Structure 1
Amino acid sequence: MSTHLDKFSSATSLLTGFVLCIALSNGIVATSDKPNIIIIMADDLGFDDVSFRGSNNFLTPNIDALAYSGVILNNLYVAPMCTPSRAALLTGKYPINTGMQHYVIVNDQPWGLPLNETTMAEIFRENGYRTSLLGKWHLGLSQRNFTPTERGFDRHLGYLGAYVDYYTQSYEQQNKGYNGHDFRDSLKSTHDHVGHYVTDLLTDAAVKEIEDHGSKNSSQPLFLLLNHLAPHAANDDDPMQAPAEEVSRFEYISNKTHRYYAAMVSRLDKSVGSVIDALARQEMLQNSIILFLSDNGGPTQGQHSTTASNYPLRGQKNSPWEGALRSSAAIWSTEFERLGSVWKQQIYIGDLLPTLAAAAGISPDPALHLDGLNLWSALKYGYESVEREIVHVIDEDVAEPHLSYTRGKWKVISGTTNQGLYDGWLGHRETSEVDPRAVEYEELVRNTSVWLQLQQVSFGERNISELRDQSRIECPDPATGVKPCLPLEGPCLFDIEADPCERSNLYAEYQNSTIFLDLWSRIQQFAKQAHPPNNKPGDPNCDPRFYHNEWTWWQDEKASSSGTIGVMKVFTLLVVFIFTSSCIN
């Protein structure tokens, strides 16, 4: 099997080389006036698990330094689970419009992001960027065509499925008895990194990517998507994993699971520092946009729970509430006129494609019909006046139909997940166990290399205490009083500006009003036009035991080797034709 894959990979690399040469000769590759774009995405990080929100339970000084130096995105909305969130990021579309709205892709399921969808990576690569994905994919692995290097990324180092063990890079699907290795360098499975902690491994790969890019003084800008595993739980038999020396820093935390969670987040925080240091060493900071976010809220309870906290928000991952949908995020660029600020504009993860494209002078093809809005000007100048409509989720699954929709300050919820198990206020802010470094919090942040490096290229005083206060989410008693929402019994309506913790259900007061009827009509319009979910049941042919204990694109592997040989023959004829034509001309 590996022989055929190696041949295919070599063929692909050679063809890529031909295409790049043609692009260079025609002046397609962009010059360095386009900004480098670095996106660092955490997996299942709780809203309150970055200390710039105000918690002192465990600190994240590097992420905080990035936030205070740049712009804190106080209202960045994501999808409630991994697969739909990543689909929205890469397509600029609501998951309901790509069929990615229901649950996630389980490793044994033969489906993925539809091949007719254009990804952010494809758009940036077509406009001269080198594109690199490090870490998690989770948008399909059953066919090779679903995987990252077939969807616009020049390189992928990481795993294709939902998650892996932090050291063995294996994924175990216990309910089916499947267990296999899932880690690749582009199309080739690699065991070179077994035994290395994945967070550090991906960090080192990001640093090397930046150093290679800088050392070549490339006129080709860099698009780097660093999709961390951290702090997602690993396999069920050993979900919480971190290096011993990192865990030892949090001995003051009595709960072992939470101690490990703090260590996992801490290692993630160090990764952010290492990436920014690498950009600084290569003198790339001045012309870079750096974004940090989480793909969805943290799981406090239930499957893959980690003690993550979305305090003070309601709900958690895989629910229709704010605790699933709001991401703690920050962005930095020298282009911003209000560095050191808290931006309260609502922004959706699907807006990032057109917004970052605009920053690079790229206009996506209108034929793509993006749902995302270009908010670059608003972000650049600090405007907060765009009324954003966001379809968080419309899932008409028979077992648990539910929806969550926001327009401006109004939010509608109907139905829920898991019979309402995640409908409460699950996370809390721990105040009895405090990080010893908290007594010198501001000094800690100001002494990070992140702070020092960013200050060198973006001057200006920052009031850390004031910014930390502004980024807190407060939940005062609603002026309308506490009015319960029971989404399994009827719709709920919230004024999310006045009531971000979703404590006062206003449906009874507004159910016959123009406000609610207009919202409900809009929801029904979206539901009627929604793409059917792409989900498919598990396929036993995926079993890694059939493929040398590797998770691989089993639908392709089932075909005979003649398929690969046929591809090679076609490729050889193509190369001969190109070469002959160039000689004749």
Structure 2
Amino acid sequence: MAMSTHLSKISHNAAIILLLTTGLVVVLAGTEISGKPNIIIIMADDLGFDDVSFRGSNNFLTPNIDALAYSGVILNNLYTAPMCTPSRAALLTGKYPINTGMQHYVIVNDQPWGLPLNETTMADIFRGNGYRTSLIGKWHLGMSQRNYTPTLRGFDYHLGYLGAYVDYYNQSYEQVSKGYRGHDFRENLKPNHEHVDKYVTDILTDAAVREIDDHAAKNNSKPLFLLLNHLAPHAANDADPMQAPADELSGFEYIRDETHRYYAAMVSRLDKSVGHVVDALARQDMLQNSILLFLSDNGGPTLGEHATTASNYPLRGQKNSPWEGGIRSSAAIWSTEFERLGSVWKQQIYIGDLLPTLAAAAGISPDPDLRLDGLNLWSALKYGYESVEREIVHVIDEEAPEPHLAYTRGKWKVVSGTTNSGRYDGWLGERVTTEVDPRSQEYEALIQNTSVWLQLQKVSGGERNISGLRQQARIECPATTEDEHTPCLPLEAPCLFDIEADPCEQNNLYEEYKNTTVFQDLWQRVQQFTAQAHPPNNKPGDPSCNPAFYHNEWTWWQDETPSNSAFSLKNSIFLILLLNSWWIF
């Protein structure tokens, strides 16, 4: 039953108005459920914008993610940072990476830095307001000191890895350039080897299901904040980057390219994870008082480092670029609070907005002294408003070999500079239209037979125009010729786009607007952010990190004493270097 229908039966007294403004009334078929909602966030790693089939691609299908999207609200303009460490920092702090020193590249496993310890995380805030907080999966916000790690940054429980990525089966991370290799998988603060040889997507899914089951059995007096950070579909170590179970691969034999076939299977296993999580919430009668969000941390890599054949088509660029393909995430959110379930929300929303927005849903007001950059968009999301003009600093990286930035205010986007000498500046990853998932012939029936669709329909009901929503969620870019638009050369001059009319960034309007207040005001604001930016926290690699010194475990090496055998090896290497230096002199 819609919120407005239910409230029409209730007198509009001050108490009800107060409850509505703090987001504490959840309506289920005419029944009020009090208390803070459970919040479950499922984050994919390096998933391309076009790699969920609710965007319209039939190359391979994601029926469970699609069912969540059509049942809830498709977030058509959710923006992230272009790489995973900055993006995850923005999610957990509600701040732009330039304001926390997290803006430059990512944390490589051997580097001794992390999210500053004086930053309050989303987990800190929710735990401080009565939530049980759990992180399943990837961290990637620092590991050189124990104090950087999840259970000392607000999470009651963590099962997963601390660094950038791991092998899907043995949970090892190899830093080939330095010759380092070690196991990186822990339960809270202890190395965990019991899952070796099991597929990591399944490990993390099972752990999330256990958390939901255990919460219902033991901790139901508290609401649950669960962040499920998947490895999928990020590439694994360079020697064997694409990994998927044989039973999953068998469904994609129609895809000729082996790498892309593996990628489709990796995404498919991720899609099934969403189904298992929704099933667990339904089984424990938690769905009706839960907010469920799915997103990716950034765009997918079609080319270059850790390339997987991910597609952000028809958006321009990819991961680690300032273009829409690097910073625009395919996302969907569901809650019985929403008045417009089964809709496409076009409001611009930044990943840093999720902290204050979800906090507002739980009736939590973050301390103003935190000085969040994120906006509380809960009311706009709840009622379907799309009129908030959002200013977003996507990236300002002055320390890169090629300084670059991307900034949006309203419909205007400024890009200056780029990455990788412009290698990622084009329109990448267009689908091979002849390779079509056989299930697409009965697409709507496929969606309606998923457990996600069936479980969410039980709770929220309502008609859904699946074909109409799928069409609305597509990004259409008109075919143009060179004569019909002005190219952008971001290494020569800034570029300006009307991102509403031109989401594919085909027509550079800089020459037309460069002397007007439109561009001058935007550029002045960019310069202000640049001047006030926190210096990057990045530090060079530290050879003391070598897992060989710590029983072949990636660990917080600045807090650890090396094992005896490893310590002897380390000293032997030092002695050899010393003797060589003496011989030279």
**SS of equivalent to 2:174:** strand
Q: Select which of 363, 367, 377 maps to 1:365.
A: 367
**C-alpha displacement at 1:530, in angstroms?**
0.4
The aligned residue for residue 87 of structure 2 is 85
Partner Cα separation in structure 2 for residue 504 and residue 71 of structure 1: 30
Report if aligned partners of 1:112, 1:139 keep a CA contact under 8 Å in 2. yes
The aligned residue for residue 516 of structure 2 is 513
The aligned residue for residue 495 of structure 1 is 498
Map Cα deviations across residues 174-222 of structure 1 (whole Å, 9 max, x no partner): 0000000000000001111101100000000000100111123611000
The aligned residue for residue 488 of structure 2 is 485
Write the letter of the residue equivalent to 1:550.
Answer: E
Report if aligned partners of 1:478, 1:504 keep a CA contact under 8 Å in 2. no
**SS of equivalent to 2:485:** coil
Report if aligned partners of 1:32, 1:221 keep a CA contact under 8 Å in 2. no
Partner Cα separation in structure 2 for residue 431 and residue 130 of structure 1: 46
Q: Select which of 422, 425, 428 maps to 2:427.
A: 425
Partner Cα separation in structure 2 for residue 424 and residue 171 of structure 1: 31
Report if aligned partners of 1:445, 1:451 keep a CA contact under 8 Å in 2. yes
The aligned residue for residue 111 of structure 1 is 113
Q: Select which of 37, 43, 62 maps to 1:60.
A: 62
Q: Select which of 377, 380, 386 maps to 2:379.
A: 377
Does residue 123 of the first structure (1) align with residue 125 of the second (2)?
yes
**SS of equivalent to 1:229:** coil
**What are the within-5 Å matches in structure 2 for residues 335-350 of structure 1?**
335-350=337-352
Partner Cα separation in structure 1 for residue 293 and residue 531 of structure 2: 34
The aligned residue for residue 525 of structure 1 is 528
Partner Cα separation in structure 1 for residue 264 and residue 237 of structure 2: 18
Q: Select which of 221, 226, 229 maps to 2:228.
A: 226
Write the letter of the residue equivalent to 1:365.
Answer: D
Write the letter of the residue equivalent to 1:107.
Answer: N
**C-alpha displacement at 1:357, in angstroms?**
0.1
Report if aligned partners of 1:63, 1:269 keep a CA contact under 8 Å in 2. yes
**C-alpha displacement at 1:149, in angstroms?**
0.2
Report if aligned partners of 1:43, 1:231 keep a CA contact under 8 Å in 2. yes
Report if aligned partners of 2:104, 2:400 keep a CA contact under 8 Å in 1. no
Map Cα deviations across residues 227-269 of structure 1 (whole Å, 9 max, x no partner): 0000000000000000001001100000000000000000000
Report if aligned partners of 1:486, 1:492 keep a CA contact under 8 Å in 2. yes
Q: Select which of 408, 411, 432 maps to 2:410.
A: 408
Report if aligned partners of 1:322, 1:501 keep a CA contact under 8 Å in 2. yes
Report if aligned partners of 1:401, 1:415 keep a CA contact under 8 Å in 2. yes
The aligned residue for residue 13 of structure 1 is none
Write the letter of the residue equivalent to 2:470.
Answer: R
Partner Cα separation in structure 2 for residue 499 and residue 218 of structure 1: 48
The aligned residue for residue 356 of structure 2 is 354
User: Percent of counterpart pairs with the same letter?
Assistant: 83
Write the letter of the residue equivalent to 1:517.
Answer: Q
Write the letter of the residue equivalent to 2:536.
Answer: P
The aligned residue for residue 173 of structure 2 is 171
Q: Select which of 467, 471, 478 maps to 2:473.
A: 471
Map Cα deviations across residues 408-430 of structure 1 (whole Å, 9 max, x no partner): 00000000011111000011022
Write the letter of the residue equivalent to 2:450.
Answer: T
Does residue 235 of the first structure (1) align with residue 231 of the second (2)?
no
Partner Cα separation in structure 1 for residue 480 and residue 387 of structure 2: 24
Map Cα deviations across residues 295-338 of structure 1 (whole Å, 9 max, x no partner): 00000000000000000000000000000000000000000000
The aligned residue for residue 162 of structure 1 is 164
Report if aligned partners of 2:549, 2:563 keep a CA contact under 8 Å in 1. no
Write the letter of the residue equivalent to 2:240.
Answer: D
The aligned residue for residue 553 of structure 2 is 550
**SS of equivalent to 2:227:** strand
**C-alpha displacement at 1:458, in angstroms?**
0.2
**C-alpha displacement at 1:387, in angstroms?**
0.3
Does residue 504 of the first structure (1) align with residue 507 of the second (2)?
yes
Report if aligned partners of 2:549, 2:562 keep a CA contact under 8 Å in 1. no
The aligned residue for residue 49 of structure 1 is 51
Partner Cα separation in structure 2 for residue 320 and residue 398 of structure 1: 13
Does residue 538 of the first structure (1) align with residue 541 of the second (2)?
yes
Partner Cα separation in structure 2 for residue 98 and residue 509 of structure 1: 35
The aligned residue for residue 320 of structure 1 is 322
The aligned residue for residue 135 of structure 1 is 137
Write the letter of the residue equivalent to 1:382.
Answer: G
Report if aligned partners of 2:551, 2:563 keep a CA contact under 8 Å in 1. no
Map Cα deviations across residues 466-490 of structure 1 (whole Å, 9 max, x no partner): 0000000011257993111010111
TM-score, with normalisation over the residues of structure 1? 0.90
Write the letter of the residue equivalent to 1:497.
Answer: E
Write the letter of the residue equivalent to 2:517.
Answer: T
Report if aligned partners of 1:32, 1:220 keep a CA contact under 8 Å in 2. no
**SS of equivalent to 2:443:** helix
Partner Cα separation in structure 1 for residue 231 and residue 563 of structure 2: 34
Write the letter of the residue equivalent to 1:506.
Answer: L
Partner Cα separation in structure 2 for residue 217 and residue 264 of structure 1: 33
Report if aligned partners of 1:478, 1:498 keep a CA contact under 8 Å in 2. no
Partner Cα separation in structure 1 for residue 485 and residue 108 of structure 2: 39
Report if aligned partners of 1:169, 1:183 keep a CA contact under 8 Å in 2. yes
In structure 1, stretches of 5+ residues that fail to align are 1-30, 562-585
The aligned residue for residue 15 of structure 2 is none
Map Cα deviations across residues 34-60 of structure 1 (whole Å, 9 max, x no partner): 000000000000000000000001000
Partner Cα separation in structure 2 for residue 482 and residue 44 of structure 1: 30
Write the letter of the residue equivalent to 2:538.
Answer: N
Report if aligned partners of 1:297, 1:317 keep a CA contact under 8 Å in 2. yes
Partner Cα separation in structure 1 for residue 562 and residue 255 of structure 2: 53
**What are the within-5 Å matches in structure 2 for residues 185-264 of structure 1?**
185-216=187-218, 218-264=220-266
The aligned residue for residue 23 of structure 1 is none
Map Cα deviations across residues 365-385 of structure 1 (whole Å, 9 max, x no partner): 000000000000000000000
Partner Cα separation in structure 2 for residue 289 and residue 152 of structure 1: 20
Write the letter of the residue equivalent to 2:43.
Answer: M
Map Cα deviations across residues 254-297 of structure 1 (whole Å, 9 max, x no partner): 00000000000000000000000000000000000000000000
**SS of equivalent to 2:366:** coil
The aligned residue for residue 21 of structure 1 is none
In structure 2, stretches of 5+ residues that fail to align are 1-32, 565-585
Write the letter of the residue equivalent to 1:145.
Answer: N
Map Cα deviations across residues 57-76 of structure 1 (whole Å, 9 max, x no partner): 10000000000000000000
**SS of equivalent to 2:125:** helix
Partner Cα separation in structure 1 for residue 393 and residue 250 of structure 2: 42
Partner Cα separation in structure 1 for residue 364 and residue 402 of structure 2: 40
Partner Cα separation in structure 1 for residue 436 and residue 563 of structure 2: 60
The aligned residue for residue 74 of structure 1 is 76
Write the letter of the residue equivalent to 1:524.
Answer: Q
Count of residue correspondences: 531
Partner Cα separation in structure 1 for residue 545 and residue 92 of structure 2: 26
**SS of equivalent to 1:202:** helix
Map Cα deviations across residues 84-110 of structure 1 (whole Å, 9 max, x no partner): 000000000000000000000000000
Partner Cα separation in structure 2 for residue 304 and residue 211 of structure 1: 35
Write the letter of the residue equivalent to 1:412.
Answer: V
Write the letter of the residue equivalent to 2:494.
Answer: P
The aligned residue for residue 290 of structure 2 is 288
Superposed CA RMSD: 1.4
Partner Cα separation in structure 2 for residue 353 and residue 50 of structure 1: 24
